[in-house]
Every structure is written in structure tokens, then in C-alpha cells.
Amino acid sequence: AACFLDSIATLNLQGDGVGLNYHYGLFKQEFVDHKQHEIPDEWLDGENMLVDTGVSFPVQLGDKVYQSKMYDMDVLGYKSGKNVLHLFDLETVSDEVITDGISFDKKDIARNLTLFLYPDDSDKDGQLLRIYQQYFMVSNAAQLIIKEEKEKGHDLKDLDKYVAVQINDTHPSLIIPELIRLMIAEGITFRRAADIVSNVCAYTNHTILAEALEKWPLDYLQQVVPQLMPIIEGLDFAVFAAYKGNPDLRIIDDQNKVHMAKMDMHFSHSINGVAALHTEILKNQELRPFYNVYPHKFNNKTNGITFRRWIMHSNHELSDLIDQLIGEGWKSDANHLEELMWYYNDENALNRLDQIKYDNKVRLAEMVKLREGIDIDPNSIFDVQVKRLHEYKRQQMNALWIIYKYQQIKNGLIPPRPITVIFGAKAAPAYTMAKNIIHLILCLQELINNDPQVSPYLKVVMIQNYNVAKAEKVIPACDISEQISLASKEASGTGNMKFMLNGAITLGTADGANVEIRNLVGNDNIYIFGRTSDEVINLYNTSGYHAIDYYLRSNSIHQCVDFITSPELLSIGDETMLKELQDNLIHKDWFMTLLDLESYCAVKETALLDYENRAWWKRKSLVNIARSGFFSSDRTIMEYNNDIWHLR
């Protein structure tokens, strides 16, 4: 979203962002006893760029009405326009409700509403708070839209001629009934208001994970937004009448759950995925009933990143080299990066590119030494996996490869060059298995980095409290970019694009935007392993995957998984956490780690050996940079505007 705001302003389009003025981020991550601990991450400490606008709106939450405050932050484009990010808050919010770490009284809405980004929603109070936050945001946004359009003298019956709303995932879905409610209050009929709002709103789906396609119990919504319930029930009845009660299409299901995505798809004029493969999976699998009804609504908008942030700002040396080689036109039109292919056989240019990579590795090594106390060799291969900790992203598979490599080295099989495996990841506070995976990685870090037989050839680094500032150091220094999600589970990914832009080579599955990276760079400049999305979906549909079969069938898999509870690791770690992870891999493994493990190990070995052909690897790096222009968020935003928004 930050990249998109940058591109909207750069392209001189009138488009503002809306959010909440969170006082604390997700959390600051600390490692204690090889485990993740969470402490508050204060966002509003000291000076910031927020401007108190004096604008305020009444928002009904439950049976009370609260008065919001709107703060604005300017979003400046590259040598061009300026837009605004509107952030809403309550004056009554107070950190006095924080009790321990990031725990707080979830029931005190007046004091906690905007306190934390993504509060723990593993219990009812947390889920209610999420709904309170979501409605507070969209109610303010809807009232701001109505206010601005009335000030311009526009007839609200023509709202769809002047306003476009992009529903970015399901979190802002309540904007649909809220806009309808406000238009009814202005004298517009329910049916007319629903038609207008459908032409105003467009929906972006960001995931096929069921946990992220929000569906709220009806009684929760009745408690939080009673004023919206007649609207939501009216929308559901309209769907029931139009589609003869088809249960797959109902907004309110027979379990009295309200499906946000279904409401979005019925009452938006556009439905898009965020990578070509993702959109095809939505059409043919996850959202097929809706594609059958609304094929004209579905379209793809592959994600993008702002090159101003992810190369001009974070990798000055590379940005300057590109300027010297092809001029500065790429900064406003990333397609010009293709001109770098002129230097495919230019030894001088390739050596300069390689020196920049080395310099960035030196800087990262200095940061790791300073912050983590670990010495790493810039001449080693930097093998990097940095992203949210989730089983589908399969950091656990990377950890099993580390065990595999550790065992090889202990048996005298020395790699031709040292390898440094770098992780950065936070686990949601209530996500037990994700915390277990972090624990395993930290135990491996302790074991391997202190083993004089192994550490000269293999190091493990888990960067504490990984964030954007650290990403700006890590990404330019990466040699191998780990994008190893289970095929069909990653909608797109944007980390893969950032690494590609900075000359890293992708090691990944045929998932998300990895597929489009492969199409752009060719098979010689990417390393793809594992089952395809079709094969994975078939295994899910037929219940055809049983992890224990792979565990028992393969001696190498058996040895890696057994090592999780080896004496070496149990002397460092928590037996309960390690055993729980091991049991999950053997008996459940919902994201099929063991299915792809041997393919992953084999292809990763190929990549590590290919790195030794330095001339070839430098060319691979150049090709990735040259072909990354497609992933500019400027391109993505132009597609949104041309196909969906039609801003002038």
C-alpha cells in the first residue's frame, strides 16, 4: 500500500489513502532463551509528519458514539504530485490499558481502539476489537467522502462518477454497507444506493488462505455495528432473491457467519487478484462460484514495488551504476531497465555490479555483528529468507535444509564456499507453531555458530526485530532469495520483486509472482523446485498427502526431522516446543514441507554450485535487474487506473 501511494502521487493521479493512527506497531521482537518475546513498538514517540486537520466525525460503536480526529500525512510523488494519507484516531486512546508486554484490556474501546496494529484476535474480545477498528476506519472514510463530494456540489446520486474506492483485502469491507447507510440517510433508496456503491467500490483479493478471508459471527456484528445490520441483511436478501438461495453465494451462511469477501464480490464492480497464477486459482478454484456468476468482474493486477524506495533509496551504489550505464530514464519508466541487457557480455560492467553486491554484503555483515553479535563472511553466499513467519511460507523447510547441510559437514562433506543463511521473521503472538519454528531456527543458530567443525562453512543468522529499516540493508546484500511457499498459497509476494531488483537470484516454487519472474528471466536465471499448484490443489482435494509416508520412505528426510529432538538441540532448546514442531511435521504438515523437501535440497545444491561459476552468476544477476521493470508499482497503478478507477 505504501508503494501504491507513492506511485499514485508520482503518476499525478488524485488518490488518497485511509487508515488508523496506530499508537503502537505490531510489536518489537526480542529473543530470550531462543524464543520470541513481544514488547510494545511505539510509533508516536517524538516528532512525526502528522498534521492535525481539525476534522472530526461521529462514529457509532456499539451503543455509544465517539468523535474521531483526522490527521493527515503528505505523500509526495517522484518529481511530481502530492496526495494525502488520512489517519483517524480517538483522543481518549491511552497506553494505560497496557498490562504486560503487548497485553492490554481489549474491552476498553475508548482507550484501546487505535492502540495496536493487528491486536491479537485469538479470542472473542480480540475479534470484536478488530471489527471495531475496521468499522471506525471505514465509517470515517465514508463520511469524509460524502463531506467532500457535498462540498464540491456533486449530487450523491452521481457518486460513482466522481469517486472510486479500492477495498484492499477484506479488512475495509464494511465500507459497502456504511456508504449505503449514509446515502439512505441522504434520501436515496436502498436499491439505488446499493447500485451506486457497487459502481464505486472495487475489491482486491490478497490471499486464498481461509483464515484471512474474514467471516464474522452475526452476533458480533450486531454488538459492534447494530446500525449496519439492516443493510447487511438487506444485501444478503438481495443475493438470495437473485440467485435462488444458492448457499455458495450467500453473504450470511447457515452458521450465521457474515462473509466479508462475498459481500465485496457481489457489491463491487471489479474483483482482482495480485499475480497471474493467483487470479487463475481464484477463478478456477477458490472463488469459482463467483467467477461463474461474474466473469466480467474478474481481472489480474500483478503487484509491484516502488523502485524509488527499494533501489534509489536503499541501494545508492547500484542506482548510480544504472544511471551511468543507461541514463536516468528508468527512474520514471522502469521499462528502461531492459537496456541493461546491452551489458550482458561487458566484463567491466559485470565486475562493477559484483563489487556493489560485495560492498552491500560488507555493510550487512557490520550490522549483523553490531546488532546480533555474529561474525559473518562477506565472501560467503548470503542465502536469505525474510518474511512473516507462517507455515505456508515454509521457514521450517529452510531449517530442515540447514540440518541437512550441518549433517553433511559433520560427515566431512565440505561445501566449496561458506554459506550464511539469514532469516528475518515475526510470528503472530498467538501462533504457537510459528513460534516453535523461530525457536528451532534460534537453536540451530546457537548450535551451528558455536561448532568449530561446522561454523567455518555454515552460519545461521536470525535477525531480531526485522523491519523495513533492516530490510534496506538485507535486500541489497542478498545472493539467493528464498521464496519457497507451498505452490498455490502465496498470492503474489513483493519481497521476491525487491530481491530481484537488487540482483539476487530467486530460489522458489512456482507460486505467486515467482511464476512471472521465471517468465521474465528464463529458466537459466531462476531456480524452481517442488510440486506445481495444480498438483498441490489435487492433493488437498483428494486428501492425497500423508507426511508420515515421506518421513518413513526417505532416510534423509527421516534424519533431518529426527534431529529436531536430537540431544544436540535438546541441550539448547525447549523440548516441548521442539517435539510439538516435530510431531506436526510427521503427522500433519498441512503445508507439505516434506513433500517438497528433497526437491528443495537438490535444487538448492545446484544453485550453490552454480554460484562458483562467477561469470555466469554475474550475468544471472544482471538479467534479474534488467527484467525487473515489470514489477514497478507505477505499472500496477496504471493498470488499476486504466481498467478500474478511470481517474482523470
With H, G, I as helix, E, B as strand and everything else as coil, classify residue 102.
coil
Among 266, 393, 435, 620, the one annotated catalytic? 393
Distance CA 114, CA 93 (A): 7
CB burial class (10 A; 0-12, 13-18, 19+) of residue 70?
buried
Which three cell numbers, joined as nine digits, stand for 446?
546457537
Active site residue 393: yes
CB burial class (10 A; 0-12, 13-18, 19+) of residue 554?
middle
Among 388, 417, 518, 558, the one annotated catalytic? 388
Strands (E), 230-269: 257-259
Distance CA 138, CA 57 (A): 11
Which three cell numbers, joined as nine digits, stand for 467?
523491519
8 Å CB contact between 334 and 635:
yes
* Count of beta carbons in the 10 Å neighbourhood of residue 581: 23
8 Å CB contact between 29 and 464:
yes
CA dihedral 131, 135, 136, 139 (to 10 degrees): 180
Would you say the C-alpha torsion 277, 279, 282, 285 has a positive or negative sign?
A: negative
Among 420, 494, 506, 509, the one annotated catalytic? 494
Active site residue 498: yes
Write the CA distances from 107 to 22, 90, 97, 126, 271, integer angstroms: 17, 15, 10, 9, 35
Per DSSP bridges, beta strands 64-76 and 51-52 are antiparallel
What DSSP letter does each residue of 530-575 carry, written as one string?
S--HHHHHHHHHHT---HHHHHHH-HHHHHHHHGGGSHHHHTTS-H
Among 498, 531, 620, 635, the one annotated catalytic? 498
Among 206, 394, 405, 627, the one annotated catalytic? 206
Write the CA distances from 340 to 307, 327, 519, 552, 614, integer angstroms: 16, 10, 18, 49, 19
Active site residue 154: no
CA angle 114, 115, 116 (to 5 degrees): 100
Among 171, 181, 387, 635, the one annotated catalytic? 387
370 CA to centre of own chain: 28
Distance CA 14, CA 84 (A): 9
Active site residue 150: no
Active site residue 387: yes
Alpha carbons within 13 angstroms on the beta-carbon side of residue 17 total: 23
For 395, the enclosing helix (H) or strand (E) is: helix 395-410
Provide the annotated active-site residues.
Answer: 206, 387-388, 393, 494, 498
